[in-house]
């Protein structure tokens, strides 16, 4: 069964960094890309970036450039998203999602993690 | 960035009736050489991650009930729920995956009348 399992909730102070993990199982890790999407409370979905597990090549949304780092570890089939210089407005649920790659039927996001709540509070 | 505008923002439909959600893109999502529209629809229930319903604008994801259908091409797309069920109460999002950054519509909330 294909599954993306994310790390637990985090509470951080402004200016700190947070690192969220997403462990993939049930499929060949290197044949699909993984994305990060966030959702602020009561708001819509915002794409943050994509990581190709082969070589950890990445593309980030411009608004997060310089603050976000996405990496992958093929030995543990895990991808990571680190967001630095946290602000109150970074409070959101962060999702990883599978989408695209050589084995994908399309680039749509067919599998999602359960979400990780990140709260930025002083 | 590609802007996706959904309409309406919310709608209330009686059980068993049809629900229609529109999504308009600021640029064409049709890849002519493949004749495919790079648009997907998702359903999100409270406290849950989004769920893929439709990709390539009209291809139903495995396991999705056939009351859900997608149509459209180029810049104008529609998600139709042919006979609304109680379990369809959710927010629905369209998304384009042609361009980077990937972008989503603002969402349409579907409720029971």
Mutate to test the interface with A, among B102, B103, B104, B106 (most CBs of A within 10 A): B102
CA A99 to chain centre: 12
| Residues in Cβ contact with A6 at an 8 Å cutoff, skipping those fewer than 6 apart | A20, A21, A22, A23, A94, A95, A96, A113, A114, A115, A116
- From A40's Cα to the closest Cα of chain B, the distance in A is 12
pLDDT at A103: 86
Cis peptide before B101 (omega within 30 of 0): yes
* Subunit contact B50:A112, Cβ cutoff 8 A: yes
Give the one of A61, A62, A108 whose C-beta lies nearest to B97's C-beta. A108
Residues A58-85 have a mean pLDDT of: 97
Cβ of residue A105 closer than 8 Å to a chain B Cβ:
yes
pLDDT at B67: 98
Given a contact cutoff of 8 angstroms between Cβ atoms, the answer to whether B11 and B110 are in contact is yes
* Residue A55 pLDDT class (50, 70, 90 cuts): confident
Residues A91-120 have a mean pLDDT of: 95
Residues A69-77 have a mean pLDDT of: 96
Does the pLDDT of residue A22 top 90, yes or no? Answer: yes
Does the pLDDT of residue A65 top 90, yes or no? Answer: yes
pLDDT at A112: 98
Residue B88 three-state SS? helix
pLDDT at A104: 87
* Subunit contact A44:B93, Cβ cutoff 8 A: yes
Does the pLDDT of residue A102 top 90, yes or no? Answer: no
In tens, the pLDDT along B43-64 reads: 999 999 999 999 999 999 999 9
Angstrom CA distances, A20 to A9, A32, B71, stand at 9, 19, 36
In tens, the pLDDT along B62-74 reads: 999 999 999 999 9
Residues A70-98 have a mean pLDDT of: 97
Mutate to test the interface with A, among B37, B101, B105, B109 (most CBs of A within 10 A): B101
% residues pLDDT > 70 (chain A): 100
Residues A74-95 have a mean pLDDT of: 98
Given a contact cutoff of 8 angstroms between Cβ atoms, the answer to whether A96 and A89 are in contact is no
- What is the interface size between A and B, counted as CB pairs within 8 Å? 57
Does the pLDDT of residue B9 top 90, yes or no? Answer: yes
Residues A11-16 have a mean pLDDT of: 98
- From B89's Cα to the closest Cα of chain A, the distance in A is 16
pLDDT at A116: 98
- Provide the mean pLDDT of chain B: 97
Cβ of residue B67 closer than 8 Å to a chain A Cβ:
no
Given a contact cutoff of 8 angstroms between Cβ atoms, the answer to whether B112 and B11 are in contact is no
Query: What residues of A are in contact with residue B55 (Cβ under 8 Å)?
Result: 105-106, 108, 110
């Amino acid at each position: 069964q294909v599954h993306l399992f994310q790390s637990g909730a985090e509470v951080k102070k402004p200016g700190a960094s947070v690192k969220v993990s997403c462990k993939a199982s049930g499929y060949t890790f290197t044949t699909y890309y993984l994305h990060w999407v966030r959702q602020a409370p009561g708001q819509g979905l915002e794409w943050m970036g994509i990581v190709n597990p082969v070589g950890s090549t990445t593309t980030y949304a411009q608004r997060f450039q310089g603050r976000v780092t996405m990496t992958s570890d093929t030995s543990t089939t895990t991808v990571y998203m680190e967001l630095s210089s946290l602000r109150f407005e970074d409070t959101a649920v962060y999702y990883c999602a599978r989408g695209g790659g050589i084995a994908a039927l399309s680039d749509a996001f067919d599998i999602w993690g359960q979400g990780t709540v990140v709260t930025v509070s002083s | 960035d590609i802007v996706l505008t959904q309409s309406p923002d919310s709608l209330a439909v009686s059980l068993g009736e049809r629900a229609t959600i529109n999504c308009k893109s600021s640029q064409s999502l049709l890849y002519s050489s493949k004749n495919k529209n790079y648009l997907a629809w998702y359903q999100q229930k409270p406290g849950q991650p989004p769920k893929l319903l439709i990709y390539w604008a009209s291809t139903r994801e495995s396991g999705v009930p056939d009351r859900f259908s997608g149509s459209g091409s180029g810049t104008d797309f529609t998600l139709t729920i042919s006979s609304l069920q109680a379990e369809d109460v959710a927010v629905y999002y369209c998304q384009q995956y042609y361009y980077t950054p990937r972008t989503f519509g603002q969402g349409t909330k579907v409720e029971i009348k």
